[in-house]
Amino acid sequence: MQKILENLPIKWHHLLFYTLLVAIIPHTGFWFDLNNDWPRWSTYAFEHGLSQIYNSDTNYMPFYLHGLYWFGKLQGSKELIYANSYQLKYFFLLFDFAGAIAIAFSLKKYYTRQFAEYMLLFNIGYLYCTVIWGQLDSVPTSIVILAIICLFERKLLWAAFFCTLSIYAKLQAIVFLPFFGILLIYQLSLKFDKWLIIKMLLVSLITQFVLLSPFIFGGTFFNFLKVVRESVGFFPRVSVNAYNIWYLLLKSDPSTINDTIHFFGLTYKKWGFILFFSLSIIAFIPLIINTLKRILNKKELDKDYYTLIWLTTGTIAILFFFVNTQMHERYSYPAIALYFAYALLTNRYSIFALTSVAHLMNVDGMNKTFGLNPFKPEYTALIFAIILVLSLIRIYEKFSFKIK
């Protein structure tokens, strides 16, 4: 029994620290989310049933709406839902812990640092979205992390579950689908098993059915599809408070400029897509070539490959935030955890530290809870640009086009 307890990823000090945070977590947050949208949608589901929540004005994916429904059920009344909406932070905080512990536990054979997970759990940049803001960014991020870990370790049925769940938690997780595909192709090249593929498809389909069945049988499935279709273009501005490249390129405030305005023959939105896909291809080339080498040479995945995976995922997360239009201030959040995994594997913490600082400068610069960012948004945007350049340099450090 003692050996089993020692091998569990969750330790007594994790439970103690989680309890401490729950005890001191502020009951306030970003009003429009924590005291308006969340309790309003939870109340709607409580009063009309989960199956009808897409008849409200919600624009969120099903996984979170399931959570809001059960939160309302636990509270038992509209008054308590609104009064205790801050308790949703406790749910989000579980995922902050899950991401940090999953990385530290799965990578422990590659480093010797004790209590490594607390480099995230003591990181205010990492915890800000949950503890101060009251947002759910930790939920899809941790699910993506678990999907990558399971794919790397060939736990493919769990991988199918987490890959599917990540998209239904937040649609922006779609940017990580290429990583899921690359790792899956490698694992199937080692040992092709058609029954395993069928099982993975069944896991994915069952997961989707569980999440979508209330809306399918409740007659609101097409409302869900409408939310998915309209998710791109919901905030048609060049920036929705994300201090990114547009603050460096435009003289006017990007948050006041419609991204459908044309610039040199194309809209700002299309320029953002072009920049994202072009730079993403550049970032992906070493990973694709490295994977191809391992497939052709039948070489196992190792620390170097794992390092490249985490570095590239972090880079793509920053790219998504930095060059696209319609980006919110919180959208650089996933990169903190992804760069943390890279830092643990390499003992190189500069990119992780810069990302933590830049993310905090952006979210508190907009939210102004602590007044931590007295500088112009352009300074934060410049830090993100430095992070991106450093990441691409690191990606190409050991790169070679040679297959053998």
Q: pLDDT tens for residues 312-331?
A: 999 999 999 999 999 999 99
> What pLDDT shows up at residue 8?
74
Q: Averaged over 285-290, what is the pLDDT?
A: 95
How many angstroms separate the CA atoms of 363 and 384, rounded?
A: 13
> What pLDDT shows up at residue 193?
86
Q: Averaged over 249-268, what is the pLDDT?
A: 90
Q: Which residue has the tokens 């839902």?
A: 81
Residue with the bigger pLDDT between 193 and 402: it is 193
Q: In whole numbers, what is the pLDDT of the chain averaged over residues?
A: 92
pLDDT digit string, tens, across residues 111-164: 888 899 999 999 999 999 999 999 999 999 999 999 999 999 999 999 999 999
Residue 219 gets the label, from left (phi > 0), alpha (psi -120 to 50) or beta, of: left
> What pLDDT shows up at residue 116?
94
Q: Averaged over 351-371, what is the pLDDT?
A: 93
Q: Averaged over 327-356, what is the pLDDT?
A: 96
Give percent of the chain above pLDDT 70: 96
How many angstroms separate the CA atoms of 260 and 270, rounded?
A: 8
Of 245-254, 358-367, 369-378, give the lowest mean pLDDT range. Answer: 369-378
How many angstroms separate the CA atoms of 269 and 274, rounded?
A: 9
> What pLDDT shows up at residue 192?
84
Residue 235: is its pLDDT beyond 90?
no
> What pLDDT shows up at residue 215?
96
Residues with Cβ within 8 Å of 226's Cβ and at least 6 positions away in sequence, in order, are none
> What pLDDT shows up at residue 212?
97
> What pLDDT shows up at residue 1?
47
Cβ atoms 42, 84 nearer than 8 A: no
How many other C-beta atoms can be found within 10 angstroms of the C-beta atom of residue 251?
Answer: 5
Q: Where are the domains of the chain?
A: 1-230, 232-404
Token reading at 297: 């040479």
Give the rounded distance of the alpha carbon of 250 from its chain centre.
Answer: 28
Q: Averaged over 44-52, what is the pLDDT?
A: 95
Q: With CA atoms as reference, report the closest residue to 260 among 240, 231, 228, 235.
A: 235
> What pLDDT shows up at residue 234?
66
Residue 340: is its pLDDT beyond 80?
yes
Residue 400: is its pLDDT beyond 70?
no
Residue 375 binned pLDDT confidence (cut-offs 50, 70, 90): confident
> What pLDDT shows up at residue 53?
95
> What pLDDT shows up at residue 404?
60
Residue 238: is its pLDDT beyond 70?
yes
Residue 2 binned pLDDT confidence (cut-offs 50, 70, 90): very low
Give percent of the chain above pLDDT 90: 80
Handedness of CA 34, 40, 41, 43 (dihedral sign): positive
